[in-house]
Amino acid sequence: MAQTLFPFVNVQKDSDKYFTYGRTILGDGNSTSEWLDSTDPPEVTSGRSTQSFSCVQHGLADYVTDEEIRNSDNPLQPFMDTTAELTERLLLELEKQVATKATTQGNYPAANTTQLSGTSQWSDFTNGDSDPIDDILVGIDVIRTQIGKMGNICLAVGGAVHFKLIQHPDVVDFAKRSLGRLPNNADMVNLFQGLGVNRYVVAGGVKNTADEGAAESISDVWGKHAVLAYPPDSPGLKRPAYGYTFSSVRARVEREPRRNHAVKVIASMTWDPQFICQDSNGDSIAGYLIEDAVA
């Protein structure tokens, strides 16, 4: 999910400037494009400003023992497995950071958030007030009026929201008439495509928020919320977007010298996720947060 809403942008430096885009990309009432020969064409402001990113290094380590290597059919497999596990754990940390950023109400203007409760939540199937299609339509239209872009919207939900949404009467009715089965992610895109959704992404990640040694407390990384966002087809420093993850080191793996019959494997990467389309307060205008979409 993190790499869908905040795709990676590779940068050469750990910290530098990046472009942000505000509502000035919509122009103003005084702008004109009429141009006469032998005169200078009208000049416009780019609508861009700059802010600074600062990539923070993250790293995790584990050991591959001589015993693991001896008992493996492929001596390299323990190193590959350990590297994959460490990388997956790092990406989970990035996912948690991005999820917090994307699902925090204070990171959006008031017009770009809504909070559902009671019978309006998508998990209420009986009272008739729950209307996910209208909720999503409202959010997409807010994004359109903020950044002037139509379509190319990603609907991102956590697992808890997904499993309730595909059981919602509006979605079930669609599935009965056109599919004869429960919808998959591509079917969900088809359902909402007329609203401008071209990606439906489900984050299945969970996290343990309990202290080490305490009883586990497992919850969805993305909570019970839904996020609508405008990610471009291809990321670039001069392309308006919901957000980018700046990274000066995408993946680095090191091995320390063998000691005490084991080799330490270290995986590291750097990142800094940032909103790109912002208002004057730095709040995201290329996204829309539906808080507490389900109970």
User: Which of 260, 292, 245 minimizes the C-alpha distance to 55?
Assistant: 245
- Within a domain: residue 83? no
Residue 22: predicted pLDDT: 86
Q: Average pLDDT of the chain?
A: 91
Residue 264: predicted pLDDT: 97
Stated as kind and residue range, the H or E segment containing 54 is strand 48-54
- Domain residues for 193? 2-20+50-55+99-251+286-291
What Rg do the C-alpha atoms of the chain give, in angstroms?
23
- Within a domain: residue 267? no
The domain that holds 235 is classified in CATH as 3.90.1690.10
- How much is the average pLDDT of 105-126? 97
Residue 25: predicted pLDDT: 59
pLDDT of residue 30 exceeding 70: no
Quick: pLDDT tens for 49-84: 899 999 999 999 999 999 999 998 887 899 999 999
pLDDT of residue 176 exceeding 90: no
**What's the number of domains the chain is made of?**
1
- How much is the average pLDDT of 258-280? 96
> For residues 266 and 61, is the Cβ–Cβ distance under 8 A?
yes
Place of tokens 């996204």: 287
- Within a domain: residue 280? no
Rounded to two decimals, what is the model's pTM? 0.88
pLDDT of residue 29 exceeding 80: no
- Using pLDDT thresholds of 50, 70 and 90, give the confidence band for residue 105: very high
- How much is the average pLDDT of 94-113? 97
- What is the chain's percent helix, strand, coil content, to nearest 5? 30, 30, 40
- Within a domain: residue 36? no
Q: How far apart are the C-alpha atoms of 251 and 223, rounded to whole Å?
A: 28
pLDDT of residue 197 exceeding 80: yes
Quick: pLDDT tens for 203-233: 988 988 888 888 898 899 999 999 999 998 8
- Within a domain: residue 234? yes
- How much is the average pLDDT of 35-47? 78
pLDDT of residue 47 exceeding 90: no
Residue 232: predicted pLDDT: 86
Q: How far apart are the C-alpha atoms of 170 and 273, rounded to whole Å?
A: 35
Residue 27: predicted pLDDT: 59
